[in-house]
Amino acid sequence: MAHAAEGIAIAAPKAPITEPKGTQTAVFAGGCFWGIEGVFERVKGVTSVESGYSGGTKASADYDSVSSGITDHAESVRIRYNPAVVSYNDLLHIFFSVTHDPTQLNRQGPDTGRQYRTAIFPANAAQRAAASAYIAQLSKAKYWKKPIVTKIEGFSFYPAEGYHQDFMAKNPAHPYIVAWDKPKVANLKRLFPNRIRS
């Protein structure tokens, strides 16, 4: 068994998913949004990735309020993608393999708090069913020593401030990016070489 920080080779989702034609949306949370955004921006078929906040109890969100914990939002990413090129199941596969450790409760790497929880925010019933089936599949396979704690929550997304967008691309030498996020991109290239955009 590998630690998620090293990237982990896991089986792809077995349950099929039928998706509408045209651009679709996926929202995931799994720690600091900088790294997750940086990973999915490199995936073929993804048309845009935006950092933001999801799953809170308030009608809006900003970094200071989310960081304080008073809104109960999670740092998240909104992924827009072409399902003819990359499916929601493909995105789930990458999410669990590369971006974070789904057994960590309310923390990832050096970051702690519910804003760093692992969660999926399905945009429709098909995505909800796919996410639920994949969590069950992975839990049964026991790829990790500890149980998966990823929750499926109601869909919501509020864009983060501009300075958080494309943070990895704009700040490649930032110490946090070098230590925690560049390894995720390296694992994406190692585990999913055919998914990397040219």
Q: Counting Cβ atoms within 10 Å, is residue 147 exposed (0-12), middle (13-18) or buried (19+)?
A: exposed
- Tell which residue, 25, 3, 7, has the closest CA to residue 181: 7
Please give the Cα distance from 25 to 20 (Å, whole number).
11
* Stretch (H or E) spanning 38: helix 33-40
Q: Which of 8, 10, 17, 32 is catalytic?
A: 32
Residue appearing with tokens 């896991």 = 10
CA angle 172, 178, 180 (to 5 degrees): 125
32 is catalytic: yes
Q: Counting Cβ atoms within 10 Å, is residue 111 exposed (0-12), middle (13-18) or buried (19+)?
A: middle
- Tell which residue, 126, 93, 117, has the closest CA to residue 24: 126
Catalytic residues: 32
